[in-house]
Copies of this chain bind each other. A is one copy, B any other.
């Protein structure tokens, strides 16, 4: 549903909706057993939820498309992930809890290695340690740019964040990473006339950095990608006419929720802490986005058993969630993270929605195969919010 249409049809009532995102939820069969992590795990409460509600599989972005965390979540929030794109620089800033301001231009930085002729020989500088990255960022912070406040923040290994802050700075800038070896880094070019000032500042920063880094082989140069500014997306609360809160431990997910205007609640780091936070604020909000990270982390590590046990932990809190009495409870994933791939994947993601107004289907288990037979079929993740709104009776009739 188009957000404008959602805004037009949304009405308010006293219902509560919970979107429980199990990060990296979907998986693939174990080569020995033929069973996915979710099939192998003991998840009685998710199975009961599937039995009580309606099921299907979400396609986060499009068939065959492996989503990053940004589009994976935005689509579950109802935002078309093609239309509402978040720059890499901004995502990097969100991921380290950097307090991005409207005038900031952010870029994702990589330390890299160049030869004596300045040609790239390693785009990741041999994946230097995070400690080295931190030391180098300290050095880069000394760079002065006229009229600009500069931030250089380490992220992890060879990755860091660069933010230029100055009124009216335009972020439409080209990247310097040529994406191949044996050529020099590109210079930053303005992609709009208004961005000429920002381009010359960025190039000045790069020249200073080249001088400073020259003696720090293998990290003797840097590449900048994804110049971007904080996007001004329609606000979730305005569109869906709900007071919305986010309960998430990791900065990236808190940042994505903040990006669409959700109130980010302070919370402890365990799933139990998150549940407690949710319960404590139950009366204050209409919509809750609850994020659980461990399933994805285990999948990314390629650890089938760890993902299984993460899913069992995710299952264990379902009764507590249901006890709070949400009018609509959705269990979803932002994407699949099969342990066998040890990475995000394009595979559709199990989805269940439970509410008093569900027309029950025949699904009695919550896993990749069972959900295929659910009444929602394989559907775009952006449909989750309109479906939740309908089942919470928060959408008025279209047309007379």
Q: Which of A66-74, A136-144, A169-177, A269-277 contacts B (4 or more CB under 8 A)?
A: A66-74
A64 lies within 8 A of chain B by Cβ: yes
Bound state CA distance, A346 and B62, in angstroms? 24
* A358-400 to B contact mask, C-beta < 8 Å, 1/0: 0111100000110011011111000101111111000111111
With A359-B28, A362-B369 known to touch, is A63 a contact of B375 (CB < 8 Å)?
no
Whether A386 contacts B65 by the Cβ 8 Å rule is yes
Whether B377 contacts A64 by the Cβ 8 Å rule is no
In this complex, how many residues of chain A approach chain B with their Cβ under 8 Å: the count is: 64
* A1-19 to B contact mask, C-beta < 8 Å, 1/0: 1000100010000000000
Closest CB in chain B relative to A338 CB, distance in Å: 8
A126 lies within 8 A of chain B by Cβ: no
Closest CB in chain B relative to A131 CB, distance in Å: 24
Which residue in chain B gives the minimum CB-CB distance to A372? B375
Which residue in chain B gives the minimum CB-CB distance to A341? B357
Whether B398 contacts A65 by the Cβ 8 Å rule is yes
A86 lies within 8 A of chain B by Cβ: yes
Contact residues of A with B, CB < 8 Å?
Answer: 1, 5, 9, 26, 28-29, 34, 36, 57, 61-72, 81-82, 85-86, 88, 91-92, 108, 226, 341, 344-348, 357, 359-362, 368-369, 372-373, 375-379, 383, 385-391, 395-400
